[in-house]
Amino acid sequence: MEISVKVNGEQKTFAIAPADVLLDVLRREGYTGVKCGCRAGDCGACTVILNGKAVTSCLTMAAQADGAEIVTIEGLAQSNSRLHPLQRAFLDHGAAQCGFCVPGMILSAKALLDEHPNPTEPEVREAIVGNLCRCTGYKKQVEAILSVAGKKG
């Protein structure tokens, strides 16, 4: 079967099997910024934005995404020198160490800021509660997201 989706603004058609999850389809199609961690909805590494909401793509059936708009981390930067403000803030705040959690965390933050441009710190922490980071302790990531709040580009 096939699904038709818009990924990072580009219309795409993907061949899928009925049991495929969105995580595997996206990675197979080259969106390897979508990370595979637990495959159980626990780590958030596979987070993408689906129709405006941050979702765990390992728990999303690919067939359910037919007709959807999807944003992956590949869709954020306009070029290597023109990063999305969240990507720039993560760099500037030293909020990435190994980086494995970062694509998913930035997408959770983007979904939050798209809906609530001026979140409080508790709201930021709540938005990334499903994005586990084994490296940073979250403080710098929260600071990075708050630094972007209210001044999105």
Query: Least distance in Å: CB of 104 to ligand FES?
Result: 8
- Given the complex with ligand FES, which of 10 and 19 has the nearer CB atom? 19
Residues lying near ligand FES in the complex (CB under 6 A) are found at 36-39, 41-46, 56, 58, 96-101, 133-136
If the CB atoms of residues 10 and 107 are measured against ligand FES, the closer one turns out to be 107
Q: Which is nearer to ligand FES, 79 or 111 (CB)?
A: 111
42/121 with CB nearer ligand FES = 42
For residue 67, which of 12, 123, 147, 129 has the smallest C-alpha distance?
12
Provide the minimum distance between the beta carbon of 100 and ligand FES in the complex, in angstroms, as a whole number: 5
Q: How far is the CB of 110 from ligand FES (least distance, A)?
A: 17
Query: Cα–Cα–Cα angle for 132, 8, 41, nearest 5°?
Result: 25
Q: Report the nearest approach of ligand FES to the CB of residue 71 (Å).
A: 16
Contact (Cβ atoms closer than 8 angstroms) between residue 131 and residue 144: no
Report the nearest approach of ligand FES to the CB of residue 147 (Å): 17
Q: In this complex, which beta carbon is closest to ligand FES, that of residue 39 or of residue 125? A: 39
